[in-house]
Amino acid sequence: MATPAPITTAGPAPSGGWRPARLEQRESRTTTGRTLRFSVPGWPGHLPGQHVDVRLTADDGYQAVRSYSLAAPADGDTVELGVQATTGGEVSPYLAEELPVGARVEMKGPLGGWFVWDGTFDGPLLLAAGGSGVVPLMAILRARRRVRSDAPCTLLYSVRTPDDVWYADELAAAPPFLSVRILHTRQAPPGSARTAGRITSADLDALPAPPGSRCYVCGPTGFVEHTSDLLLAAGHPADLIRTERYG
């Protein structure tokens, strides 16, 4: 394993690192997936792939904290998060549906120094996303787009059905350096050449991911375990595979 980049903690952070964050915009990405754009005065910036903690406080003082991935590269005081509402969840349904635009929560971060792309690695990238695991990879893709580089980048994106694709329009208009391959596990679109099912070694063989690609794998545990096993079997070395698992 290589040495991770230290977590950046630039700028004085008030009261234990918690900053007020005002919800500016909420956008539906799927039926249950949302991106939330906040303004966070004094935000110190972040690296693509990092996450933040969000803290909610009830009237009786009860507090709940959860982690959410940053969906976009650093942009002044603007912070964009991806939230997948989980049925019966304590925090995600509130953020996805109830928190009013203009209201505030508290935010701490950025957090995480390993599952990041800081631009110093300018070789080819293979990004593998399962479901809402696409969110931190989107931050990497968007940052990658700002950099002048010929290195290829591949996004392998596993979703249950065509309706579960986040960022469909943005991905459809992919820039030349990026190849996007969407795999459907439950229901493929009509006329699809590939039968619905989870990712296989044949799916990996079909990718334009040259040897020496750095791999970022993010999604539910089962997806990450399975995909990183396939990557290892396909000859990608373990020290070039970085993983982030959701519950």
Which of 11, 27, 41, 64 touches another protein by CB under 8 A? Answer: 64
Which of 32, 45, 78, 113 touches another protein by CB under 8 A? Answer: 113
Question: Should residue 147 be labelled a site residue for another protein when binding is judged by CB under 8 A?
Answer: no
Alpha carbons 124 and 245: distance in angstroms, whole number: 22
Query: What is the smallest separation between the CB atom of 120 and another protein, expressed in angstroms?
Result: 15
Query: What is the smallest separation between the CB atom of 105 and another protein, expressed in angstroms?
Result: 5
* Contact mark string toward another protein, 179..218, x via CB under 8 A: ----------------------------------------
Residues with Cβ < 8 Å from 129, sequence gap 6 or more? 137, 155, 156, 157, 158, 218, 219
Query: What is the smallest separation between the CB atom of 8 and another protein, expressed in angstroms?
Result: 8
Which of 24, 32, 39, 67 touches another protein by CB under 8 A? Answer: 67
Which of 24, 39, 56, 194 touches another protein by CB under 8 A? Answer: 56
Question: Should residue 235 be labelled a site residue for another protein when binding is judged by CB under 8 A?
Answer: no
Which of 38, 115, 166, 167 touches another protein by CB under 8 A? Answer: 115
What would the 3-class secondary structure string for the chain be? CCCCCCCCCCCCCCHHHCEEEEEEEEEECCCCEEEEEEECCCCCCCCCCCEEEEEEECCCCCEEEEEEEECCCCECCEEEEEEECCCCCCCHHHHHHHCCCCCEEEEEEEECCCCCCCCCCCCCEEEEEEHHHHHHHHHHHHHHHHCCCCCCEEEEEEECCHHHCCCHHHHHCCCCCEEEEEEECCCCCCCCCCCCCCCCHHHHHCCCCCCCCEEEEEEEHHHHHHHHHHHHHCCCCHHHEEEEEEC
Residues with Cβ < 8 Å from 120, sequence gap 6 or more? none
Query: What is the smallest separation between the CB atom of 198 and another protein, expressed in angstroms?
Result: 16
Which of 13, 151, 171, 234 touches another protein by CB under 8 A? Answer: 13
Which of 59, 190, 195, 235 touches another protein by CB under 8 A? Answer: 59
Nearer to another protein, 60 or 150 (CB): 60
Chain positions contacting another protein, by CB under 8 A? 1, 3-7, 9, 13, 16-17, 20, 53, 55-59, 61-67, 90, 94, 98-100, 103-106, 111, 113-115, 221, 224-225, 228-229, 231-232, 238-239, 241-243, 245, 247
